[in-house]
Structure 1
């Protein structure tokens, strides 16, 4: 099951919890978070509890939408995005990794757009994630 490592509704995760559980990838979590705030200083951070089945996730939002979701897992995390058609077109024409483009291309289309999740196991996809954040903010 694709579940957060933080499942206790009564305990909102804190920085020390992330560092302990994400291990080396915690640095990448904060690099992505800081990148969003560097591009959009008014971004709001929010922990969200999605129920016992999914646990806690972290959202970075602008005034009306989520820019990126960060989903903590044991020793790594996932980033998740929802892209409308315009943003999807921009991503498909970009230099973003083919594996991410394939995820987006094959994602089911909903009214709010296409949703994708990207495992962040090491630094190899962080630049692509940063580029996706830039696309999200512009579209």
Structure 2
């Protein structure tokens, strides 16, 4: 499992067609998550971000104060990453989100900004959980 984006060249911001080619069958899922996030949050800004040579390019969707979701492109799939504060964690633990995600979040190291999780997206399995996590992140 690689930590690095499929897009690693600092001087080349990924294009939509390059992203579609890299993600293959998961590209429409990426689009669905992006569209859901931008429609659900009152204000969003989506942007590519180069995190250094170790990680390469990532895509993040922010509101006015924080990143709502990170989308991390890989070869043929992507990762959806979130950071949740305590209020959001409490909501997640009481939600219908899968036990696997709840357990992973509880096991994650806690930082000042919260607990982080990265979820592999290789198909529609777990898609409803991702939508619920986005809603919780936006609402908290």
> Which category of TM-score, normalised to the shorter sequence, fits these structures?
over 0.9
CA distance in structure 2 between the aligned counterparts of 1:87 and 1:40, rounded to whole angstroms = 15
1:125, distance to aligned residue in structure 2 (A): 1.3
CA distance in structure 2 between the aligned counterparts of 1:41 and 1:92, rounded to whole angstroms = 25
1:39 paired with 2:40, answer: yes
1:71, distance to aligned residue in structure 2 (A): 0.2
TM-score by length of 2: 0.97
Structure 1, unmatched stretches of 5+, are none
CA distance in structure 1 between the aligned counterparts of 2:31 and 2:77, rounded to whole angstroms = 12
Deviations 1:16-48 (A, max 9, x none): 011100000000000000000111252100100
CA distance in structure 2 between the aligned counterparts of 1:53 and 1:110, rounded to whole angstroms = 21
Q: Specify the alignment match of 1:80 in structure 2.
A: 81
CA distance in structure 2 between the aligned counterparts of 1:23 and 1:126, rounded to whole angstroms = 17
**RMSD of aligned residue pairs (Cα, Å):** 0.8
Structure 2, unmatched stretches of 5+, are none
Q: Specify the alignment match of 1:105 in structure 2.
A: 106
Q: Specify the alignment match of 2:30 in structure 1.
A: 29
**Partner SS for 1:46:** strand
Residues paired across the two proteins, number: 139
Deviations 1:78-102 (A, max 9, x none): 0000000110010011000111111
Q: Specify the alignment match of 1:69 in structure 2.
A: 70
TM-score by length of 1: 0.98
